Structure 1
Amino acid sequence: MTLPDHGSTVRSALRDARSASWSARADAGRRLADMAQDTEVAAVLLRLLLDGQDTWVTQETAEALLERGDEMGLRLVLAALTTADDDTGDHLHAAVTNVCCQSDEGLERLGTLLAALTGDADPLIGEEAGDMLRGWAFRR
Structure 2
Amino acid sequence: MEFSDDQGLGTAIRNAYSPAWSARAAAGRHLAKSRAIDEVAEVLHRLLLDPQDTAVTWETAEALLGRKDAMGLRLVLLARSYAAEQATAEEIQAALDCNPDWMTTEGADRLIKHLRDLAMDEDAGVRDEARRILGRLRPR
**TM-score tier after normalising by the smaller chain length:** 0.7 to 0.9
CA displacement at 1:138 relative to structure 2: 4.7
**Gap runs ≥5 in structure 2:** none
- Counterpart of 1:3 in structure 2 is none
C-alpha distance in 2 between matches for 1:121 and 1:78: 13
- Counterpart of 2:94 in structure 1 is 94
- The one-letter code sitting in structure 2 at the alignment partner of 1:110 is L
**Gap runs ≥5 in structure 1:** 1-5
CA displacement at 1:88 relative to structure 2: 1.0
- Counterpart of 2:17 in structure 1 is 18
C-alpha distance in 2 between matches for 1:60 and 1:139: 30
C-alpha distance in 2 between matches for 1:71 and 1:138: 20
- Counterpart of 2:110 in structure 1 is 109
C-alpha distance in 2 between matches for 1:63 and 1:36: 17
Contact 2:115 2:131 (8 Å CA) reproduced: yes
TM-score normalised to the size of structure 1? 0.86
- The one-letter code sitting in structure 1 at the alignment partner of 2:94 is A
CA displacement at 1:97 relative to structure 2: 2.7
- Counterpart of 2:49 in structure 1 is 50
Which deviates the most, 93-102 or 39-48? Answer: 93-102
C-alpha distance in 2 between matches for 1:93 and 1:74: 12
CA displacement at 1:57 relative to structure 2: 0.3
Q: CA RMSD in A?
A: 2.1
C-alpha distance in 2 between matches for 1:139 and 1:61: 29
Contact 2:6 2:35 (8 Å CA) reproduced: no
TM-score normalised to the size of structure 2? 0.86
- Counterpart of 1:126 in structure 2 is 127
- The one-letter code sitting in structure 1 at the alignment partner of 2:91 is H
